[in-house]
Amino acid sequence: MSNVWFVTGSARGMGVDIAKAALAAGHSVVATARDAAKVTAALGEHDNLLPLSLDITDASAAVAATAAAVERFGRINVLVNNAGSFYAGYFENISEQQLRAQMETNFFGPLNVTRAILPVMREQRFGQVITITSAAGLMGQEFVAAYAASKFALEGWMESLRFDLEPYGIRTMAVEPGFFRTELLVEGSSTIWPELDIADYTKRTTDTIAAWSSMNGQQGGDPKKLAQALVTLSDSPELPLRFLAGADVMSGVGQNLTVIQGQIDAHRDLSASLNYDA
């Protein structure tokens, strides 16, 4: 069956590949970005493609985009919350305004779009909510305090949302990519460096920015293969609750789970002693 996909952040990066893979599989795609003309420039024109302008931080715009999608295709089967930004830096160097902007885009943005689309999916009694989080949504890392906070929030939301939606035939999947060869590390695209300068962090910040900038174009993950994997999973009989995307994130999360298990074991008796005495 041909589905209708609604993909945010479709003017560049991974969103372009996801939209192309869905179209190639015979699905229809509502592809959104802040500027619909940039979506058309990235994807071209296609009978089954509807480019829409959408700022995901604007709840009313999400409602309008949903209405336009339903008017064109009659339904929405698959939502892919892909749009996001990356405010990199050490916590004290990230301004309050930057931190709030990070949460508005990466956390509240997907909530806005999902809240607008869920009534359509509930009426259909079918749908999929696929949200792109990050390896940084499962394990904290240096220089990503704001970004990891936004992605951890998405993980908690998605893990809880499944219980809300399962009675209505709606499935959820969180996707945690590792390092993929997208534009994420390109300054001026999706990455914003910290606004504040604190002497203790200056050298570490300079060195980290240089190291990360040098990684651009060298990341091991192929976004086209990830996009195809998402279509394969969406079209499969059972959507997994979580998809760790890439060998690097599987290795990192595996090591993190070992550390967590060690911490449980190290304080097992103390933890178990905290109940009221019988």
- Which residues are known to be catalytic? 147
Q: SS3 of 30, please?
A: strand
Q: SS3 of 139, please?
A: coil
> Please, is 25 exposed, middle or buried when counting C-beta atoms within 10 Å of its C-beta (0-12, 13-18, 19+)?
middle
Are 112 and 218 contacting, i.e. CB atoms less than 8 angstroms apart?
Answer: no
* Cα angle for residues 224, 43, 14 (degrees, 5° grid): 35
Are 243 and 174 contacting, i.e. CB atoms less than 8 angstroms apart?
Answer: yes
Instruction: Give dist(CA 267, CA 151) in Å, integer.
Output: 28
**Secondary structure (H, E, C), 222-240:** CHHHHHHHHHHHHHCCCCC
